[in-house]
Amino acid sequence: SDKSIALSNNYAGNSWRQAMLESWQKVTAQAVEEGVVSAADAFTTAENQATEQAAQIQNMILQGYDAIVINSASPTALNGAVKEACDAGIVVVSFDGIVTEPCAWRIAVDFQEMGRQQVEYLASRLPEGGNLLEIRGLAGVFVDDEIHAGIAAGVQEHPDFKVAAAVNGDWAQDVAQKAVAGVLPSLPDIAGVVTQGGDGYGAAQAFAASGRDMPIIVMGNRHDEMEWWKQAHEENGYETVSLSIAPGVSTLAFWVAQQVLDGADVPKDLTVPFLKVTQEDLEEVLASTQAGGVANVEYTLDDAKAVISDAAQ
């Protein structure tokens, strides 16, 4: 068809986003070649800022794209720009970082559930509970607040656990490691560490450096985390769980946009499961993950149709 789709991305500074862009590139290139759409361009702003992204969306309106796929810097701050796009007759699909503007489609990850499940897993491993260390993301950002709320809910369900300390790791490995190392000396025994993704390896390093017992650290699907986990398992039977959203969800968003343009009846709210790695499938996932990258799943048109029809029911 002659329809064109644009990806508006607000940040490219970590491995997750890079994997996301790469999946987009891979899947859309083929779709363009097959003539499913005429163009699928990706745009990234220099810094993780809603204002810049809003301007970017306004430019896309001017450029005349038929659909805009957004990973948003903020669930609400883009609403003005998104509304303008809708008013111009453009299909807007948001994913990962979703927008609340009603005219847009949302492919949401249940981040709360992601936080809750971490505590649930810890409860299954440590029935008598214990102290938790929470590593949070960037203060004031939606994802951080959601996962934190989920963890808080989990702790409420399992009152034997207590969050002994919470630090902000800003979703950056070095910041997380530093924050954990700084707070560790003042903490009692820690039984588990709940994280937001990608901070597990840094936390493990900090614990190793402090000479404490290694707690159960919930991982975030990064290759280095899973490799460390595998090694620890081989050495001393260390077990944990790893969860994160798959960067390939950008390709799902692409297909959803394509389907809407195609006239398909797609519900406004779709949910994708997050990618969970357990001890059983660790080896397998690790083998399929690019060294230094993130565990990933890419979507085909049929996968997307399945997700849509599931949601419609």
Ligand X SMILES: Nc1ncnc2c1ncn2[C@@H]1O[C@H](COP(=O)(O)OP(=O)(O)OP(=O)(O)O)[C@@H](O)[C@H]1O
Query: According to CB under 6 A, which residues from 63 to 92 bind ligand X?
Result: none
Q: Give the interface segment with ligand X, choosing from 8-16, 26-34, 125-133, 252-260 (CB under 6 A).
A: 8-16
Token reading at 217: 């650290």
Tokens 């997307």 identify what position? 304
Kindly list the distances between the CA atom of residue 117 and the CA atoms of 139, 176, 241, 281, in Å, as whole numbers in the listed order.
22, 21, 10, 18
Nearest Cα residue to 256 out of 308, 310, 309:
308
Footprint (CB under 8 A) of other proteins, residues 269-298 = 290-293
**Cross-strand pairs, 173:** none
- Residues 48, 94, 258, 296: which binds ligand X (CB under 6 A)? 48
Number of residues that bind ligand X (CB under 6 A): 18
Helices (H), ranges, 126-239: 142-157, 173-183, 200-210, 223-236
Footprint (CB under 8 A) of other proteins, residues 131-170 = 136, 138-142, 145-146, 165-168, 170
- Residues 1, 38, 76, 288: which binds other proteins (CB under 8 A)? 76
Tokens 């990962």 identify what position? 96
Query: Kind and range of the H or E element at 67?
Result: strand 67-71
Number of residues that bind other proteins (CB under 8 A): 84
Which does residue 273 touch among other proteins, ligand X, none (CB within 5 to 8 A, set by kind)?
none
Token reading at 220: 């975030």
Q: Give the interface segment with ligand X, choosing from 13-21, 38-46, 252-260, 261-269 (CB under 6 A).
A: 13-21
Helices 301-312, 249-261: inter-axial angle, 10-degree rounding: 70
- Residues 12, 14, 49, 125: which binds ligand X (CB under 6 A)? 14
- On whether the CB atoms of residues 286 and 227 are closer than 8 A, the answer is yes
Q: Give the interface segment with ligand X, choosing from 78-86, 136-144, 152-160, 182-190 (CB under 6 A).
A: 136-144
> Rounded CA gap, 205 and 192, in Å?
15
Kindly state the smallest distance separating residue 148's Cβ from other proteins, in Å.
Answer: 9
For 297, other C-beta atoms within 10 Å of its C-beta total: 17
> Rounded CA gap, 56 and 73, in Å?
12
Kindly state the smallest distance separating residue 191's Cβ from ligand X, in Å.
Answer: 23
Q: Give the interface segment with other proteins, choosing from 20-28, 116-124, 254-262, 276-284 (CB under 8 A).
A: 20-28
DSSP string computed for 200-215: HHHHHHHHHHHTPPP-
Footprint (CB under 8 A) of other proteins, residues 202-231 = 202, 205, 209-211, 222-224
> Rounded CA gap, 243 and 233, in Å?
18
Nearest Cα residue to 228 out of 209, 190, 202:
202
Kindly state the smallest distance separating residue 163's Cβ from ligand X, in Å.
Answer: 20
- Residues 62, 89, 263, 302: which binds other proteins (CB under 8 A)? 62
Kindly state the smallest distance separating residue 31's Cβ from other proteins, in Å.
Answer: 17
- Residues 220, 240, 259, 274: which binds ligand X (CB under 6 A)? 220
197 binds ligand X (CB under 6 A): yes
> Rounded CA gap, 309 and 286, in Å?
31
- Residues 54, 65, 92, 96: which binds ligand X (CB under 6 A)? 96
113 binds other proteins (CB under 8 A): no
Question: Can you give the binding site for ligand X, defined by CB under 6 A?
Answer: 11, 14-16, 48, 96-97, 138, 141, 143, 171, 173, 197-198, 220, 222, 244-245
